[in-house]
Amino acid sequence: MSDEQNEDDVKYPSSFYDELKRASSNIDKGREPEFLTGRMGTRRFSIKALQERIINAFIDEHGRDSVALKSAQTPAQRYSLILATANYVIGVESIMVSDAEKAEIVRQVYAELFTFGPLDKLFLDETITTITFEGADKVSVRHGHGELTAINPIFEDTEHMNRIVKRLLREADADISAEQPLIETGFEVGGRRVSLNIASPPITYLLSADIRLHPIHPISLMDMVTNGIIQKQAYDVLIALAKSPHGVMIVGETESGKTTLLGALLEHIPSEVLVSVERAGELRLPNGGLQLVVRWKTDDHIGITFGERVHEGLSKNPSVLVLDEVRADDPDSIAPLLTEHPTPRLLWAFRGTTNSKRLIAALGILARKSNPADGDMAVRRLYERLPFVVGIRRSEGKLSLT
């Protein structure tokens, strides 16, 4: 199949193609087992087992980079490959399958191989900002800035969940293992930046994931005024800070809106050489900005830590260095920024409390740990280079500055 082939070139039986379109518009599926009957009527086959057979047969035939798979650039071309495999498996097993059943099976297999299975529907819902799961049975979502709400299980079983997690990690060019059980990474799906946090055994009993979804169009400071997150007076102060030469630290707990606010500030930074160092690549930088993201070790490449990216960012001689995010448990990463040597203007997102007394203590400890030989000097440099602090939090279904 050539690269020039378009979707109209793929010829399905009309009834099957109609059923495929109908199946794609109705992707809810329960976990109750469903069965198909053999042609002689004496055997019954689980639809789930049939899907797994087709997936395994497809991988056996195409791997991840067969010539046919590389040539299949459009969804229709990929559907065509899956349909051929499905027809082969169904024929070998002599299973009776209607066009509607086959369309749904092919759609499910496509989702498992090329997208994110049961997560697709959630990714498409632009009101969903967080998806969490703990094992295959406990799943929750957050709409907007509200509280997490439990939903029905979306995975068939643990094996199904693990397969989808591997697909997520492959999209992010990351991998998880007993030696690397904690992952924070990111990727983009449907125009939405995604932050993916995974914790797995042996540090947890069940594999757990936290998926944070950004809107397709980044939220601006004016959007925050319109949405009641900030007042007009705060807007004016934030604009002035962005346009000033001073360093700014945005502080908040997990999922408090730090990255959202930091990204909104970046829109107003004067045109300069800007470099960001990020854990998950969630920011959208101004034109010309250079984004350096943590890279996790895989079989294909070595890892690059947050601290190593900070050194790399400094080597670019930027006028502005953005860090998303700084953590109290990673003082070594910021050590080169708190020395006697001059640094670029600093803009940080810092994960921590917005309580002023506790924050002062946490920042002091962080600075001293970054330079045990001269902790007082490191504390002075931190306050000199980041003189302005903006706190943000999520409470009662909305974001607010503190």
Task: Give the pLDDT of residue 165.
Answer: 94
Q: Examine the pLDDT at 53 and tell me if it is beyond 70.
A: yes
Q: Examine the pLDDT at 145 and tell me if it is beyond 60.
A: yes
* Rounded distance between C-alpha atoms, residue 40 and residue 205, angstroms: 45
Task: Give the pLDDT of residue 259.
Answer: 96
SS3 at position 90: helix
- Answer yes or no: same fold for 119-213 and 221-401: no
Q: Examine the pLDDT at 152 and tell me if it is beyond 70.
A: yes
The per-residue pLDDT for range 162-182, each reduced to its tens digit, is 989 998 999 999 999 888 999
Least confident segment among 34-43, 305-314, 391-400: 34-43
Domain positions in the chain = 7-114, 119-213, 221-401
pLDDT classification of 158: cutoffs 50, 70, 90: very high
**E runs forming strands in 168-243:** 182-189, 192-199, 208-213
Q: Examine the pLDDT at 241 and tell me if it is beyond 80.
A: yes
Q: What is the mean pLDDT of the chain?
A: 88
The per-residue pLDDT for range 186-202, each reduced to its tens digit, is 999 989 999 999 999 99
Task: Give the pLDDT of residue 272.
Answer: 78
Nearest C-alpha neighbor of 317 from the set 293, 344, 290, 336:
344
Provide Rg for the chain, Cα atoms: 25
Q: Which CATH number fits domain 221-401: 3.90.180.10, 3.20.20.140, 3.40.50.300, 3.40.30.10?
A: 3.40.50.300
The per-residue pLDDT for range 64-115, each reduced to its tens digit, is 677 888 788 888 888 999 999 999 988 888 888 888 888 888 988 888 888 8
Q: Examine the pLDDT at 143 and tell me if it is beyond 80.
A: yes
Q: Which residue has the tokens 């990929």?
A: 78
Q: Examine the pLDDT at 32 and tell me if it is beyond 70.
A: no
Six-digit token pair at 31? 């976990």
The per-residue pLDDT for range 128-139, each reduced to its tens digit, is 999 999 999 999
The CATH code belonging to domain 119-213 is: 3.30.450.90
Q: Examine the pLDDT at 26 and tell me if it is beyond 60.
A: no
pLDDT classification of 24: cutoffs 50, 70, 90: low
The per-residue pLDDT for range 333-342, each reduced to its tens digit, is 999 999 989 9
Q: Examine the pLDDT at 258 and tell me if it is beyond 50.
A: yes
Q: Examine the pLDDT at 34 and tell me if it is beyond 80.
A: no
What share of the chain in percent tops pLDDT 90? 63
SS3 at position 189: strand
Six-digit token pair at 244? 């000033």
* Rounded distance between C-alpha atoms, residue 116 and residue 171, angstroms: 10
Q: How far is CA 61 from CA 64, 74, 81, 87, 314, in A?
A: 9, 19, 10, 14, 47
pLDDT classification of 22: cutoffs 50, 70, 90: low
Dihedral angle, C-alpha 22, 28, 30, 31, nearest 10 °: 100
